[in-house]
Amino acid sequence: MKVVIQRVKHASVSVDNKVIGKIDKGLLLLSCIMEEDEDKDLDYFVKKIVNMRIFEDEKGLMNKSLIDVSGSILSISQFTLAANTKKGNRPSFLGVKEKTEAKRMYELFNEKLRNHVKVETGEFGADMKIDVLLDGPITIEM
Protein backbone atom coordinates (compact mmCIF):
# COMPACT_ATOMS: atom_id res chain seq x y z
CA MET A 1 0.00 0.00 0.00
CA LYS A 2 1.14 3.49 -0.73
CA VAL A 3 -0.34 6.47 1.10
CA VAL A 4 0.41 10.17 0.83
CA ILE A 5 -0.69 12.02 3.96
CA GLN A 6 -1.27 15.77 3.83
CA ARG A 7 -2.20 17.92 6.81
CA VAL A 8 -5.01 20.27 5.81
CA LYS A 9 -6.99 23.22 7.10
CA HIS A 10 -9.88 21.98 4.94
CA ALA A 11 -10.43 19.76 1.91
CA SER A 12 -13.27 18.65 -0.31
CA VAL A 13 -13.78 16.33 -3.25
CA SER A 14 -16.26 16.75 -6.11
CA VAL A 15 -17.57 14.47 -8.83
CA ASP A 16 -19.55 16.00 -11.71
CA ASN A 17 -19.42 19.42 -9.98
CA LYS A 18 -21.09 18.04 -6.84
CA VAL A 19 -19.23 17.95 -3.51
CA ILE A 20 -19.35 14.37 -2.21
CA GLY A 21 -16.90 14.67 0.68
CA LYS A 22 -15.72 17.57 2.82
CA ILE A 23 -13.65 18.03 6.00
CA ASP A 24 -12.23 20.83 8.07
CA LYS A 25 -8.98 20.37 10.03
CA GLY A 26 -7.47 16.97 9.44
CA LEU A 27 -5.73 14.81 6.87
CA LEU A 28 -6.11 14.29 3.16
CA LEU A 29 -5.12 10.71 2.32
CA LEU A 30 -4.25 9.63 -1.20
CA SER A 31 -3.98 5.85 -1.17
CA CYS A 32 -3.11 3.09 -3.61
CA ILE A 33 -3.67 -0.60 -2.95
CA MET A 34 -0.77 -2.61 -4.36
CA GLU A 35 -0.84 -6.12 -5.79
CA GLU A 36 0.90 -7.69 -2.77
CA ASP A 37 -1.29 -5.98 -0.14
CA GLU A 38 -3.47 -8.06 2.17
CA ASP A 39 -6.28 -7.07 4.54
CA LYS A 40 -3.97 -7.41 7.56
CA ASP A 41 -1.68 -4.70 6.12
CA LEU A 42 -4.48 -2.13 6.46
CA ASP A 43 -4.35 -2.29 10.27
CA TYR A 44 -0.72 -1.11 10.29
CA PHE A 45 -1.54 1.90 8.10
CA VAL A 46 -4.64 2.83 10.09
CA LYS A 47 -2.78 2.71 13.41
CA LYS A 48 0.11 4.81 12.08
CA ILE A 49 -2.11 7.39 10.39
CA VAL A 50 -4.49 8.14 13.27
CA ASN A 51 -1.66 8.21 15.82
CA MET A 52 0.98 10.08 13.76
CA ARG A 53 2.01 13.17 15.71
CA ILE A 54 1.99 15.83 13.00
CA PHE A 55 -0.30 18.44 14.55
CA GLU A 56 1.08 21.27 16.66
CA ASP A 57 0.75 21.48 20.41
CA GLU A 58 0.55 24.67 22.49
CA LYS A 59 4.30 25.23 22.00
CA GLY A 60 4.13 24.89 18.22
CA LEU A 61 5.78 21.45 18.21
CA MET A 62 4.37 18.55 16.19
CA ASN A 63 3.29 16.48 19.20
CA LYS A 64 -0.41 15.86 18.61
CA SER A 65 -2.15 13.18 16.57
CA LEU A 66 -5.30 13.39 14.48
CA ILE A 67 -7.19 11.86 17.40
CA ASP A 68 -5.74 14.44 19.83
CA VAL A 69 -7.00 17.36 17.72
CA SER A 70 -10.37 15.75 16.88
CA GLY A 71 -9.52 15.98 13.18
CA SER A 72 -11.12 14.25 10.22
CA ILE A 73 -9.90 12.38 7.15
CA LEU A 74 -10.71 12.88 3.48
CA SER A 75 -9.72 9.57 1.88
CA ILE A 76 -9.14 9.42 -1.87
CA SER A 77 -8.25 6.32 -3.89
CA GLN A 78 -5.26 7.25 -6.08
CA PHE A 79 -3.93 4.38 -8.22
CA THR A 80 -1.44 6.71 -9.93
CA LEU A 81 0.75 6.55 -6.80
CA ALA A 82 1.94 3.22 -8.23
CA ALA A 83 3.33 4.86 -11.37
CA ASN A 84 6.60 3.38 -12.58
CA THR A 85 8.39 6.02 -14.65
CA LYS A 86 11.76 4.31 -15.15
CA LYS A 87 11.18 3.29 -18.76
CA GLY A 88 9.89 5.63 -21.45
CA ASN A 89 7.61 8.62 -20.96
CA ARG A 90 4.35 6.82 -20.26
CA PRO A 91 3.97 5.62 -16.65
CA SER A 92 3.25 1.95 -16.02
CA PHE A 93 0.75 0.89 -13.35
CA LEU A 94 1.42 -2.85 -13.35
CA GLY A 95 1.86 -3.13 -9.56
CA VAL A 96 -1.68 -2.15 -8.55
CA LYS A 97 -4.26 -4.55 -7.17
CA GLU A 98 -7.03 -5.69 -9.54
CA LYS A 99 -9.86 -3.10 -9.54
CA THR A 100 -12.61 -5.09 -7.79
CA GLU A 101 -10.30 -6.25 -5.01
CA ALA A 102 -8.67 -2.80 -4.72
CA LYS A 103 -12.10 -1.21 -4.25
CA ARG A 104 -13.02 -3.75 -1.56
CA MET A 105 -9.77 -3.11 0.30
CA TYR A 106 -10.08 0.68 -0.06
CA GLU A 107 -13.56 0.51 1.47
CA LEU A 108 -12.29 -1.75 4.28
CA PHE A 109 -9.43 0.72 4.91
CA ASN A 110 -11.96 3.54 5.29
CA GLU A 111 -14.16 1.43 7.56
CA LYS A 112 -11.17 0.73 9.82
CA LEU A 113 -10.29 4.44 9.89
CA ARG A 114 -13.90 5.22 10.89
CA ASN A 115 -13.37 3.18 14.06
CA HIS A 116 -11.14 6.07 15.20
CA VAL A 117 -12.14 9.32 13.43
CA LYS A 118 -14.67 10.88 11.07
CA VAL A 119 -13.92 9.89 7.46
CA GLU A 120 -15.22 11.35 4.20
CA THR A 121 -14.33 9.75 0.87
CA GLY A 122 -14.12 10.30 -2.82
CA GLU A 123 -15.66 7.91 -5.34
CA PHE A 124 -13.48 4.94 -6.28
CA GLY A 125 -12.53 5.06 -9.96
CA ALA A 126 -14.25 8.40 -10.65
CA ASP A 127 -12.79 11.56 -12.16
CA MET A 128 -12.54 13.67 -9.01
CA LYS A 129 -11.67 17.29 -8.35
CA ILE A 130 -10.02 18.02 -5.00
CA ASP A 131 -10.04 21.44 -3.36
CA VAL A 132 -7.56 21.67 -0.51
CA LEU A 133 -5.86 24.17 1.76
CA LEU A 134 -2.65 22.48 2.91
CA ASP A 135 -1.47 23.23 6.44
CA GLY A 136 2.28 23.66 6.86
CA PRO A 137 2.54 22.22 4.28
CA ILE A 138 3.06 18.84 5.88
CA THR A 139 3.20 15.95 3.40
CA ILE A 140 4.33 12.43 4.34
CA GLU A 141 4.66 9.30 2.20
CA MET A 142 4.03 5.87 3.65
Active-site annotation, residues: 78-80
Peptide bond into 91 cis (omega under 30): no
Amino acid at 15: V
Tell me the CA end-to-end span of the chain in Å, nearest whole number.
8
In 3D space, the residue among 46, 39, 18 whose CA is nearest the CA of residue 101 turns out to be 39
* Angle at CA of residue 40, ends 80 and 11, nearest 5°: 45
